[in-house]
A and B are shown apart, each in its own frame.
Chain A
Amino acid sequence: MRQWREAPSPLAVFGKCGNLDLLVAVDAAAERLGLTAGLALAQARAMHPALTAMPEDQAADARLLEALADWCQRYTPLLAADPPDGILLDIGGCAHLFGGEEKLRDDLLARMTGFGFTARAAIAASIGAASAAARFSEAAITPTDDERDLLGPLPLAALRLSSDTVAALARVGLKRIGDILDLPRAPLAARFGAELLRMLDRALGREYEPLTPRLPVAPYIAEKNFHEPIAREEDVLATVERLATRLKAALAVRGDGARRLELALFRTDGVVKRIAAGTSRPVRDPQAIRALFVERLAALGDEIDPGFGFDLARLSVTIAEPCPDEQIGLGGHEDQAELDRLVDRLSARLGRRRVSRLVAHDSHIPELAVAALPAQAMARAELGWEAFRRFRVQADLSPRPLRFLARPEPIEDVFALVPDGPPVRFRWRRALHEVIAVEGPERIEGAWWSEEGGPARDYFRVEDKAGLRFWLFRAGLYRDMARALPRPRWFLHGMYA
């Protein structure tokens, strides 16, 4: 898998093993020269001075494997990368879509070869057997119950055991899986650990081994194959609409609507482009889904590089929610629906977190009293302003600023007539402000129950000579300095009209 067609030959990749540089992979030409993985680099260079040797890059290998696994999603959504060099695909129930297991395997191998990889593939009823067959045998398809015959002649390393266990088994003369198949289990487990028997059972299909998929499997999926790859944006959008029409039927059967959708575009050269879009209410309407992707594609612009075209498009509903059947009518609902569409469009183009609603929180600390949450998620939620209004009337809160700095800005050169009194002048952003009118202080206690609560704050509304109105606060008190508390600091927190 690490061998590329265009690379110079003979080629070997080496990695560090302790203090030693060992070859970890060799290409076909190097193999013909008698080099193998595990040979010391110095020895290999001495044998063949023309050898091109490159250091290994495990992170890049892992990324490549992930990208390939992504591409393999075209065969089944249930798959997992099996580092360092394998991919596990659960093709139960989807082989017939490709004309049977044989055809699926041929197709996979042909495409992998086309990308320039040397790949081996095997199909078996258990993960262990398939992995052993792909790496250590020529068997293409192993029918259920034939695992014994398949595994018997293979070396014990095929069971995915640790190298220590394999070495320990080799010391007592157990080299092949066949050697341990019929041995009494208790002594084996006692001497070599339960792991050995578990891996054996898993390979033989006696114990079920679950496959953890890389990505959660979407509840609704529709896909379309193209004999002639598509590249134009209009074609992609038309495909989205066609797939959405198919999804609509499936969603309607279960009374669901899509809250989050993902469009996966499989490029002919193996790159997979994924585009996600969210909605603020469950939708089924293909037109609405198409409109979302219009904005997403516009926002992505050149990032969606079609290259030589996409040969498979898959639209999946990653989050579905119950959706009441379409209703026609009353004015208010129409308006709400129109607003939802606007929010969806804006969120699709600008990003979900950029379109928000203000939610009131039950906190007396000004920066915690309100939060901006994604409007799509909050479309039907209670925002809590009623409670805030009740609180404001009860507590007789002083007016709050219109604009608020998320991070209070320190102000300097604060001059006050009495240490804990209101400021007379202060400097903010290098400009000096002369205070002519003040209201306050309003004492707001810090979160005294928490370690990071901070000191109490005294808030002042001030107006300067030019009529600018600010919300300032002093964190801490001067008189507390006697108790060796830090010096109070002044901040500007907001502006009034």
Chain B
Amino acid sequence: MGTPARSAFCSPAGAPAVLDRLRRELCAAEAATGLTPDGGAALGLGISAIDGVLSGGLGCGALHEIAAAHETETAAATGFALALAARQALPSCESAARTGASAVSTRITGRYLLWIAEDFSLAENGAPYGPGLDGAGIAPERLITVTAARDRDVLWAMEEALRCRAVGVVIGEMRSRGIDQVMTRRLALAAAAGDTLGLLLRTTPHDEPSAAATRWIIGTAPSFPRAGGGDERSHGLGPPRLTARLVRNRRGHLGAWIVEWNSVEQRFELATHSEPLAGTAFDRPHRAAVA
């Protein structure tokens, strides 16, 4: 690899091409270690601010960690993971949901979603509920749920599933326990091999080293009330809002955002009605820290 490169540097005209080639070789070498999940397409969240930080989007054939800020907020983290899954694995279902009522007659195609969870987590945080998933843009026909008694089995099942070409997204749900870095490396490699999106869903945040490409901490945020309705308590629920903190990113900067689920277009948007400034530093100290 060394000799031809050196000879090519002699002619300035060939330099950009050589640099390009070297970059590609480096990428390939790093991809083999599972450290840079550059293999596979980028999965954009559809929010330019976030996609910019992620330099295009999340790596598809890679492992990502999504943790709930607190165990009670697991449903929010689940919602975020499912939104990613819906964007990745189930394109036809997504477009169907966009057209509303015509979703009824849509043919469901695409790769499968595997949801692998520890028994304890399901007992504590509730099991995936088909009608709710259907409303969130995930076709229950394409979902296979796996339960395991031990976290070891969850990780094993995740690795098996990530290598399978028929599977598009694997969600592995675990309650708090440190995961060995070797294990996350294995999962990252498996995700790259199968070109599968691996999402490690954790019920509490962790900061141990990991081979995951990104790490998110997802919390809930009060929704902006729907217009109309006189009495304060009688107004309905606005579109759900989540706080998304990107606390680890192998490809760029970190950030924190408040995103809002747009149920009509089945995607996230940046929350346009920001919180009062005085409230921010008080009940969301992380925002102050990041900003």
> Is B148 positioned at the interface, with any CB of A under 8 Å from its CB?
yes
Neighbouring A residues of B33 by C-beta, 8 Å:
none
A468 to B156, CA, bound (A): 32
> Is B282 positioned at the interface, with any CB of A under 8 Å from its CB?
no
State whether B144 touches A375 (Cβ < 8 A): yes
Which of these binds chain A: B52-60, B128-136, B248-256? B128-136
- Nearest-neighbor residue (CB-CB) of B232 within chain A: A436
> Is B39 positioned at the interface, with any CB of A under 8 Å from its CB?
no
State whether A403 touches B129 (Cβ < 8 A): yes
Number of interface residues of B (CB under 8 A): 61
> Is A392 positioned at the interface, with any CB of B under 8 Å from its CB?
yes
Give which listed residue, A350, A462, A494, contacts B129 with CB less than 8 A. A494
Which of these binds chain A: B17-25, B69-77, B177-185, B205-213? B69-77
Q: How large is the interface on A (under 10, 10 to 19, 20 to 34, 35 or more residues)?
A: 35 or more
Q: Mark A116-144, 1 if CB is under 8 A from B, else 0.
A: 00000000000000000000000000000
A29 to B18, CA, bound (A): 95
Q: State how many angstroms separate the Cβ of B104 from the closest Cβ of chain A.
A: 5
Give which listed residue, A338, A401, A406, contacts B132 with CB less than 8 A. A401
Neighbouring A residues of B157 by C-beta, 8 Å:
346, 349-350
State whether A389 touches B134 (Cβ < 8 A): yes
Q: State how many angstroms separate the Cβ of A124 from the closest Cβ of chain B.
A: 51
> Is B42 positioned at the interface, with any CB of A under 8 Å from its CB?
no
Q: Mark B223-238, 1 if CB is under 8 A from A, else 0.
A: 1010000000111111
- Which of A375, A385, A424: most chain B CB closer than 10 A? A385
Q: State how many angstroms separate the Cβ of A249 from the closest Cβ of chain B.
A: 30
A469 to B239, CA, bound (A): 11
Neighbouring A residues of B128 by C-beta, 8 Å:
358, 402-404
> Is B30 positioned at the interface, with any CB of A under 8 Å from its CB?
no
Interface residues of B in 151-206 (CB under 8 A from A): 153, 156-157, 160-161, 164-167
State whether A392 touches B76 (Cβ < 8 A): no
> Is B91 positioned at the interface, with any CB of A under 8 Å from its CB?
no
Neighbouring A residues of B134 by C-beta, 8 Å:
385, 388-389, 392, 400
State whether A355 touches B146 (Cβ < 8 A): yes
State whether B141 touches A385 (Cβ < 8 A): yes
Neighbouring B residues of A357 by C-beta, 8 Å:
143-145
> Is B240 positioned at the interface, with any CB of A under 8 Å from its CB?
yes
> Is A28 positioned at the interface, with any CB of B under 8 Å from its CB?
no
> Is B46 positioned at the interface, with any CB of A under 8 Å from its CB?
no
> Is A466 positioned at the interface, with any CB of B under 8 Å from its CB?
yes
Interface residues of A in 400-422 (CB under 8 A from B): 400-406, 417, 422
- Nearest-neighbor residue (CB-CB) of A439 within chain B: B236
State whether B131 touches A437 (Cβ < 8 A): no
Give which listed residue, A343, A375, A389, A399, contacts B104 with CB less than 8 A. A389
Q: State how many angstroms separate the Cβ of A372 from the closest Cβ of chain B.
A: 6
Q: Mark A19-35, 1 if CB is under 8 A from B, else 0.
A: 00000000000000000
> Is B220 positioned at the interface, with any CB of A under 8 Å from its CB?
yes
State whether A497 touches B261 (Cβ < 8 A): yes
Give which listed residue, B103, B133, B139, contacts A402 with CB less than 8 A. B133
State whether A339 touches B140 (Cβ < 8 A): no
A496 to B136, CA, bound (A): 10
A494 to B74, CA, bound (A): 12
> Is A59 positioned at the interface, with any CB of B under 8 Å from its CB?
no
A403 to B222, CA, bound (A): 19
Give which listed residue, B112, B135, B242, contacts A339 with CB less than 8 A. B112
Interface residues of B (CB under 8 A from A): 72-76, 78-80, 82, 101, 103-104, 111-112, 125-136, 139-141, 143-148, 153, 156-157, 160-161, 164-167, 219-223, 225, 233-238, 240-242, 261, 263
Can you name 28 A-B pairs with beta carbons within 8 Å? A336-B166, A342-B161, A345-B160, A346-B157, A346-B161, A349-B156, A355-B146, A357-B144, A358-B128, A358-B130, A366-B131, A370-B129, A375-B144, A385-B141, A388-B134, A399-B132, A402-B82, A405-B127, A422-B233, A424-B233, A436-B222, A467-B76, A494-B132, A495-B126, A496-B132, A496-B240, A497-B76, A497-B79
A-B complex: 3 closest residue pairs judged by Cβ atoms: A497-B79, A403-B126, A404-B129
Known: A357-B144, A399-B263, A467-B223. 15 other contacts (CB 8 A): A342-B164, A342-B167, A354-B146, A358-B128, A397-B131, A404-B129, A405-B127, A422-B233, A463-B223, A463-B237, A466-B220, A467-B76, A494-B132, A495-B125, A497-B76
